[in-house]
Amino acid sequence: MRIVHVEVVNFRGIKQLSWHPAPGTNCLVGPGDSGKTTVLDAIELAFAPRNSVTFDDTDFYAVDPKANPIAITVTIGDLPTEFLKEDRYGHYLRGWDDTAKRLEDEPDEARGLEDVLSIRLTGDHTLEAEWTLFNQRVAQGDQSSRALAFQDRQDIAPSRLGPYADRHLAWGRQSVLNRITKGPAASRGLMAEAGRVARQEFSRDSKTLFAETIEEVKQAARLLGVPVGDALHAMLDVQAMGLSGGGISLHDGNLPLRRLGVGSSRLFTAALQDYARARASVALIDEVEHGLEPHRISRLLRQLKEERAGGTTKAQVFMTTHSPVVLQELSIAELNVVRRDPRTGITIVVPANTPYPGLDAQSQPRANPQAYLAPAILVCEGKTEVGLVRGLDDYWVGKGHLPFSTAGIVPVSGGGVDKAPVIAGYFHALGYRVGLLLDNDCEPKDAKILNELTSAGVTIFRWAPGHATEDHLFRDLPTDAVATLIKAAAAIQDSDQSFLDRLSSKYSKKRFKSVAEVQKAADDSELRIAMGELTKSKGKPGERGWFKDISHAEWIGRKHVGPHLDELKGKFPETIAEIRAWVDREQ
């Protein structure tokens, strides 16, 4: 079985969602509250094998059951042949056009539509949950409504691997061990047998163990004339002991397996579920990285993606994650961004491989995994700008401002003036709030792109005309700060001499003898211009500019730009103030 379409209406934070998941792995990312877990919950509920599920008010959109009745519709394909029978669900089939991603109300095998069934879970203000097979014929009252039989629903119900997997290590309700034990009925049989065994074992020693107490009980009873026989003895009351279900769990030696670490027990459970997943070939995994070291994450992901033995279709996996490591392990086709408009509750799932002109999106999850995990992205032209922004963030945090992380903003490096706008456009198209910070000494090759981005809603930040970040640093900062930067730049160069040589190639007014001499001249505007030019220059190591890595730029931002912001004048502090305002603006 696999899920071809999910439709959610009025469930928790989701007012409306319509989504066509892919056959293999579907990893949902997006900022907190975007509804990732709600999607997983919706899928799980649609198959919930217990008819007694009831909703509570908070399950309804806007906590208003009267106005917002819940409807979750999950359409499944790759149906077991049994389901196609006319006396089972054959008459309820619908047709799925996988190429057009379109659902037709009636099947058409001849035209290549796949036979699918829609399972709909509804709930209204009575808080009762109701499951039916859904199609237009039923909706119009032309076909009597029917639900999947309990057993069938249980057979195909997805297995869920939540954050804590302990329950799967005991024979409790919903435990994967029950599935491996050939279903709940067989399981109950085993429990009963286990109870009998326990009673027998217990009774062997209980006579001596409880002999004294029993003797006293007998005496007391005789005193009051209560007729008790000689057979009075202590025995296990299996029901009171809760031997059924969770009372029996997997042990390794004497150690219960639930004492394994979170990660190990999740891995172990995943393995069990994989084994049990004969027909239920859909798995739901919350925060797949939970409790796992990076190397174990990759092992788990690889295991999930593996073709099942016997050449049957691989499992369809729905997972959520907050881990860049997971993103780096996935291919872009497996990645989906969940977006929820907080005002309307309209939620969309956008595939991360939605094409964007000029960008090979393939590389993005590896290059900027953290970008997918935040609500807003500040795409910076290069690493210098990323560092500067991060340094400023640190500085501001020290001054009691909202951290970028709390505001949900991640600065990422765009890799140059041509690429950065494209990346900004890509993430904006995926639904992220995007800012773009570009130097102003050079324009992107695509002359129209900045206007396009602006009209699409990307906020663009630029320095003064003709200025790169480095130009502003050396031209605008106070003398002390520039002197410190000169010293730091010299320290990055192999030797002081080669630093002075490079400087002389740009600055001819005077030949300096030492770095300290240069520092003293920090006030000279020509020197400042030359330093700026040299700092931003590109080239081989040794000839390349200084501060081209995040950590140096971060240091500059924190130590030298931040503290002087109040004294600075002109476009440089203005643009920085714009960025700050963008960060602080209501999202």
Partner 1 sequence: MSNEPIVDAVLSSRLGSVVAPAGCGKTDCIADVVKAAGGPAKCLVLTHTLAGVDSLRQRMKEKDVSLHRTDLETIAGWSLRFAAAFPRRSGLATREPRGEDWPAVYAAATQLIRGGFVTGVLKASYQRVLVDEYQDCTAEQHALILALSQHLPTCIFGDPLQAIFGFRNEQLADWKAVTTDFPQIGALKEPWRWKRVKNDKLGCWLIGIRDQLEQLNRVDLAAAPRCVSRVIPQSLTKQDLLKANMSAGRSVKLRGEETLIVIGDKASELIRGSLAAKLKCSAIEPVACQTLGSFLAEIDVCTARDRLTAVLDLAAGAMSGLARAAFERRVVRLAGGWKPRNKITESERAALDLLASNELAHVLSLLECLRRQSGVVAFRRELLSAVQNTLRLVVRGEHSTLAEAAWHVQNKMRHAGRRLARRSVGSTLLVKGLQFDHAVIVAPEKLSRNDLYVALTRASRTITVVSATPTLIVKATPQQNVSKRGQGHE
| Residue 563 contacts partner 1 per CB under 8 A | no
Q: Which C-beta is closer to partner 1: that of 55 or that of 83?
A: 83
Residues 253 and 263 sit within 8 Å (Cβ to Cβ): no
Q: Which distant-in-sequence residues (6+ apart) come within 8 Å of 385 by Cβ?
A: 411, 413, 437, 439, 469, 553
Q: Considering only residues 50, 85, 251, 445, which one is a binding residue for partner 1 as defined by CB under 8 A? A: 85
Nearer residue to partner 1 within complex by CB, 133 or 561: 133
Residue 50 interacts with partner 1 (CB under 8 A): yes or no: no
* Binders of partner 1 in range 458-497 (CB under 8 A): none
In the complex, the smallest distance separating the C-beta of residue 120 from partner 1, rounded to whole angstroms, is 18
Number of Cα atoms under 13 Å in the Cβ half of residue 403:
6
Nearer to partner 1 by Cβ, of 142 and 212: the residue is 142
Q: With CB under 8 A as the contact rule, which of the stretches 50-58, 88-96, 340-348, 528-536 interacts with partner 1?
A: 88-96
Least Cβ distance, residue 95 to partner 1 (angstroms): 8
Dihedral over Cα of 556, 558, 562, 564: its sign: negative
Contact between 100 and partner 1 per CB under 8 A:
no
- Measured from the CB atom, the residue of 82 and 341 that comes closer to partner 1 is 82
The residue (of 82 and 293) whose beta carbon lies closer to partner 1 is: 82
206-234 burial, b for 16+ CB within 10 Å, e for fewer?
beeeeeeebeeeeeeeeeeeeeeeeeeee
Binding status of residue 91 toward partner 1 by CB under 8 A: yes
Q: Which residue has the tokens 């960060």?
A: 583
Q: Stretches 81-89, 176-184, 556-564, 576-584: which one binds partner 1 (CB under 8 A)?
A: 81-89
For partner 1, the binding residue among 87, 212, 230, 252 (CB under 8 A) is: 87
Q: How many residues bind partner 1 (CB under 8 A)?
A: 21
DSSP letter string, 499-563: HHHHHHHH--S---SSHHHHHHTTT-HHHHHHHHHHHH---STTTSPS--SHHHHHHHIIIIIGG
Residue 374 tokens, joined: 């935040």
In 47-114, alpha helices (H): 81-84
The answer to whether residues 413 and 380 touch, using CB atoms and an 8 Å cutoff, is: yes
Q: Which of 13, 24, 90, 246 binds partner 1 (CB under 8 A)?
A: 90
Phi, psi of 18 (to 5 degrees): -135, 125
Minimal distance, residue 93 CB to partner 1, in Å:
7
Stretch binding partner 1 (CB under 8 A), from 84-92, 180-188, 217-225, 297-305: 84-92
Quick one: which segment of 79-87, 126-134, 160-168, 369-377 binds partner 1 (CB under 8 A)?
79-87
Restricting to residues 115-144, which ones interact with partner 1 according to CB under 8 A? Answer: 115, 137, 142-143
Interface with partner 1 by CB under 8 A: which range of 91-99, 313-321, 382-390, 524-532? 91-99
**Hey, is 417 helix, strand or coil?**
coil
Nearest to 10 by CA among 337, 320, 344: 344
Tokens of 479: 């003398």
Q: Cβ of residue 85: shortest distance to partner 1, in angstroms?
A: 5
Which backbone phi and psi does 278 adopt, to 5 degrees? Answer: -75, -50
Does residue 109 interact with partner 1 by CB under 8 A?
A: yes
Per CB under 8 A, residues contacting partner 1 are 81-87, 90-93, 105-110, 115, 137, 142-143
